[in-house]
Structure 1
Amino acid sequence: MAEVPQRVVSMNLCTDQLAMMLAAPGQLLSVSHLASDPRGSAMADEAKAYPPNHGLAEEIYLMQPDLVLAGSFTSRATVAMLQRLGVRVEIFEPAYGLDEIPGQIRRMGAILGREDEAQTMLETYEADLAAFQDEVTRNPRAAIYAANGYTQGDRSLSGQILIAAGFANVAEEVGFSDGGIMPLEQLVMLAPEAVITSRPYPGNSRAEDVMLHPALIASQDDLARGTFSDRDWVCGTPFVLRAVTEMAALRRALTSDRGN
């Protein structure tokens, strides 16, 4: 069994957050620069307490870490270079479902030598998630619709968030279990009770224009248009429960408004 690391550097947004939640004081040296961006990070304020890194092998090696945390999509060149230099690198796969989050928590706890803290976090997560299952009386049909018309089905973390909140995902009706590009015409014809879109980033991205298309807006009343904040949806951490809570509130509003 590897010794408990004392100098940990994380270079992935999702490992950043798990490490910040579980690491002992002084154990975590640096997190990725993405961790301090409130648009994508659920712990942007906490991340300000750590020096940021940009995922470069040179800068990370000079920190003299005894452990580097990375994601499977993190710069492979950096990971390979650090490994060649003899640095221990632990690679985490993305979580594609709510049931994969406990494994992420346990693994991070074991790697950091923080098993007890991880167990406490896990028990709280599972209890809070279970609480959502008791209140659903009807499952409104909903669609996730993001930039470029991308939708996500039940075999995705976002799709699992919808299920936990009590929605039925219309992407499943048309074969998008893993996600894909759904034409706007198809979405309108499916007539979901709610369309969940991401909050546009500052600037003028034509990829996001589809989320504000007149045909989509005309097909939905104000109640049925939900938005999600990327920071609570992208990583397999307990922060996904904030997204479930937000979507459950939308579902309750829909069912109450329509007499169900």
Structure 2
Amino acid sequence: MLKQKYQKIIMVLLLCLSILLIVAGCSSDSVQKSNSTAAYAVTDSQGHKLYFKEKPQRIISMSISTDEILIDLVPSSRIAAFSRLVDDPGISNIVERAQSVGSRVDGQSSEAIMALHPDLILIPDFVKPEVIQSLRDMNLQVYVYKTPKSMEDVRQCIRFLGEAVGEKERGDMMVTAMDEHLKKVQ
């Protein structure tokens, strides 16, 4: 009787293990398939790889610096929300232009961000890791960029953000225009 009880326990454990292996195998196949059908992929500053089948159409910017870059990278119809600081004329250079995008986010409520149905969130590396992880845990595409500390960092940031939103050429053009403007100023 004791032997039969152990046999049942072993059979149940083997059945659970088999189901677990099948499920794990299926999910890894689906991830590989989604990655292989991606139109493009980018890696953020934290090493997370994001895959896109098409250019993001509902982008959320979580920082004033990204707001000001994003508005020149993509049409406002592709922007779901800007940071709340975009409306402050003491900080923002795009107050009037930003009015074409109706929503604002402050990064405090993951649920409010989720309600906007973003297909890409651009977020600086100074945001608390638990906020970033919370957004990733909701299966949102979160691109964390390194906060620029030099002019070369600014150039790189614009290029990286251009790649993330599917506008690499536009990002390169922005950097070229910025450099030409800086030459004139000097």
Q: TM-score, normalised by structure 1?
A: 0.48
Alignment of 1:112 with 2:112, yes or no, is: no
Alignment of 1:203-242 (within 5 A): none
Amino acid at match of 1:52: R
Q: Higher Cα Rg: structure 1 or 2? A: 2
Segments of 4+ moved more than 4 angstroms: none
Root-mean-square deviation over aligned CA pairs: 1.5
Match of 1:58 among 88, 111, 115: 111
Aligned residues: 133
Q: Which runs of 5+ in 2 are unaligned?
A: 1-40, 42-50
Percent identical pairs in the alignment equals: 23
Equivalent residue of 1:106, what SS?
Answer: helix
Cα distance, 1:25 vs. partner? 4.3
**Contact 1:72 1:94 survives alignment (8 Å):** yes
Alignment of 1:67 with 2:120, yes or no, is: yes
More helix by share: 2
Equivalent residue of 2:77, what SS?
Answer: coil
Alignment of 1:20 with 2:98, yes or no, is: no
Cα distance, 1:97 vs. partner? 1.0
Alignment of 1:166-181 (within 5 A): none
Amino acid at match of 2:132: V
**Contact 1:57 1:79 survives alignment (8 Å):** no
Distance 2:123 2:143 in 1: 6
Distance 2:76 2:182 in 1: 28
Q: Which runs of 5+ in 1 are unaligned?
A: 134-260
**Contact 2:159 2:172 survives alignment (8 Å):** yes
